Amino acid sequence: MSDLLDLTAAEAAARVHAGDLERGELWRFYRDRALADDLNAFTWVCTDDDPEAIDPSGSLGGVPIGIKDLFCTAGVPSQAGSKILEDFRPPYTATAVERLMNAGAPVLAKTNQDEFAMGSSTENSAYGPTLNPWDRTRVPGGSSGGSAAAVAAGTVPWAIGTDTGGSIRQPAALCGIVGLKPTYGAVSRYGMIAFASSLDQAGPFTRDTTDAALLLQAMAGADPCDSTALGLPEPVKLPDATDLKGIRLGVPEELTGEGIEAGVLEAFRATLDLARELGATVETTQLPHAPHGLAAYYLIAPAECSSNLARYDGVRYGFRANGRDLLGMYTETREQGFGAEVKRRVMLGTYALSSGYYDAYYGRAQKVRTLIAGDFERAWERFDFIVTPTAPGVAFELGAKTADPLAMYLNDYCTVPMSLAGTPAISIPNGLSDGLPVGFQIAGPAFSENRILDAAHALERAIGFDGSRAFA
């Protein structure tokens, strides 16, 4: 294995800063690896010999990055995994991406995803499924499966994705890497092609927690183009904790029992033992409304998407089908341009929002959302963090759940409650089950990213997970 592949992104950046590594060499190394990708992790790869003017003296050190397809990137295909945006090249760049570029990370590739981020396996992409580098007959998770698979396979050093109900944490878990969903509002959504605006949040995919902190540091911040972007109250620092002394971990019964695979629970318990050895106290607790998270999420997210996706009418961007008249063009474009899952959600969401049904569905789901947020508020009175397995199972076989949307939705059981509450959560790899990676989720109060990263750093060192087996 080559030396460059062994380096984390932070290590590569440090070498560039020290003058021991030429950023062009690093770029060409990863460009060639990305071009040789055989996991279908990318929807576009930059073929340039030298990336456009990027200042490697920035904190990201000229280390190239993969960007989920749905981030608008000027002049580069930004299709959100959908045929309806085929070859759409936006005239502007998303704030999050621009901030990464300004901090010295050149965009190497756009990564594959479920169409409009709807899915848990990346099988809903109009550009074909992405394969899991640990086992090519299995899914990488989703919706940001391309970003997760590429980082795990070492075809990009790091990447970003979005998480609406679990789309950063679940694929990170299934691919054996770190994925962080920041507090809602920490990172600007400007230029992120919208799925469910009250839930969507951008975050990093990395090999370790230090790399995750570096990316978050660069991405987070208020933005005049997104009134919901607050940034973080304190600068993101690089994690350095080596123990968990005085840290109180709450283990919610509802998310750590029924429905979770035995091998996943075994890894989870082993990590709790490590946490105790590092000085943490571990106590069982309750998030009584969390089991209703999926039901609420699968009303709120479709409702918001039905509104957000109304703009794809064949007039303004991307794909247009022929129709007899204007209405015919609209309907043909949407019929041909959207995949089955997107249509299912637009129909569900439109129904849930229709007059007479609003109170029964959307209004009620919002009330459940408030109750779930209240469960977390009460938990923070007693605990620093809530910990759970990230996903109920390991990576499943391609095609195993495509015919059963409800089975697919269950993947988000442990991640959706934090999304509804708007709180930050990280997934770190904590072992293998049947030879496949398992993720450990640490969730904390709003804006506790620095503390979450520190706790994850201490655990990561103790776990000593070796992800290099997935390098392609």
Catalytic residue list: 68, 143, 167
Q: Are strands 248-252 and 436-443 parallel, antiparallel or unpaired?
A: unpaired
| Shortest Å, Cβ 142 to ligand GLN | 6
> Toward ligand GLN, which CB reaches closer, 10 or 442?
442
| Shortest Å, Cβ 440 to ligand GLN | 19
Cβ distance 270 to 431 under 8 Å?
yes
> Toward ligand GLN, which CB reaches closer, 256 or 411?
411
> Toward ligand GLN, which CB reaches closer, 145 or 252?
145
> Toward ligand GLN, which CB reaches closer, 60 or 192?
192
> Toward ligand GLN, which CB reaches closer, 98 or 123?
123
- At position 450, the amino acid (one-letter code) is N
Tokens of 401: 């759940």
| Shortest Å, Cβ 408 to ligand GLN | 7
Cα–Cα distance, 23 to 69 (Å, whole number):
24
Tokens of 346: 């637009």
Cβ distance 402 to 408 under 8 Å?
yes
> Toward ligand GLN, which CB reaches closer, 26 or 117?
117
∠ at Cα 209 (207, 213), nearest 5°? Answer: 115
CA 171 to chain centre: 7
How many angstroms separate the Cα of 393 from the Cα of each of 121, 139, 171, 265, 268?
Answer: 12, 12, 11, 9, 12
| Shortest Å, Cβ 201 to ligand GLN | 9
Cα–Cα distance, 287 to 441 (Å, whole number):
15
Number of Cα atoms under 13 Å in the Cβ half of residue 185: 14
Enumerate binding residues for ligand GLN (CB under 6 A).
Answer: 117-120, 143, 163-167, 195, 301, 412
> Toward ligand GLN, which CB reaches closer, 10 or 41?
41
Backbone angles phi, psi at 387, to 5 degrees: -120, 145
Torsion of CA 375, 376, 380, 384, to 10 degrees: 140
∠ at Cα 92 (99, 112), nearest 5°? Answer: 75
- At position 145, the amino acid (one-letter code) is G
Cβ distance 147 to 117 under 8 Å?
no
Cα–Cα distance, 126 to 70 (Å, whole number):
13
Closest chain position to ligand GLN (CB): 167
| Shortest Å, Cβ 185 to ligand GLN | 16
| Shortest Å, Cβ 419 to ligand GLN | 7
Contacts of 327 (CB under 8 A, 6+ apart): none
| Shortest Å, Cβ 348 to ligand GLN | 11
